[in-house]
Amino acid sequence: MNFFALLGARFKLPDYRMVLEPSVGLKKISDVPFGTDVNIIAKMLDEKLFGGFTYSFGPSSHRLVFLGGVRLDKFKFFYSYDQSYADFQGYNNGSHELTLSVDLYKLKPKMMKQEPMPETAPPSMENK
């Protein structure tokens, strides 16, 4: 059985033109010990620049991930560095990742406009 849960929040800090997004992730994958991720992402300059980190821990390993990136229209470019503190640390000095993300459908929130209910019901098809 696999189990994933994520709980997060979004805090706008208008005085600093920044948004903070802390979150906690829990995961349990078959035959793998339970794991927890603690994350914080800071988005700045109208969410065009962002950075943060993740600390993952469980019974068998710990890792720290640093993340940074930029958003240009529908594209996001990420760089991350992942440093593990597991038993194999002597063989690995961490990993570097480059990611390109594309928002195919960037939906903008719209206020739904509700039409007033008519005073009388429209004539039904049965009366015709």
The predicted structure's pLDDT at residue 86: 72
C-alpha closest to that of 13 among 55, 40, 43, 53 = 43
Cα Rg of the chain, angstroms? 23
Residue 120's Cα: distance from chain center in Å?
47
Question: Tens digit of pLDDT for each residue in 61-97?
Answer: 788 999 999 999 899 999 999 998 876 666 777 899 9
For residue 119, pLDDT over 90 is answered with no
The whole-number average pLDDT for the span 50-60 is: 90
Question: What is the rounded end-to-end Cα distance, in angstroms, of the chain?
Answer: 58
Q: Which pTM value belongs to this model?
A: 0.70
Q: Of all helices (H) and strands (E), which one includes residue 90? A: none
Q: What span, in angstroms and rounded, lies between the C-alpha atoms of 101 and 69?
A: 11
Question: Tens digit of pLDDT for each residue in 7-38?
Answer: 999 999 999 899 999 999 999 888 888 899 99
SS3 107: coil
The whole-number average pLDDT for the span 101-114 is: 68
Q: Which two tokens stand for residue 81?
A: 């560095």
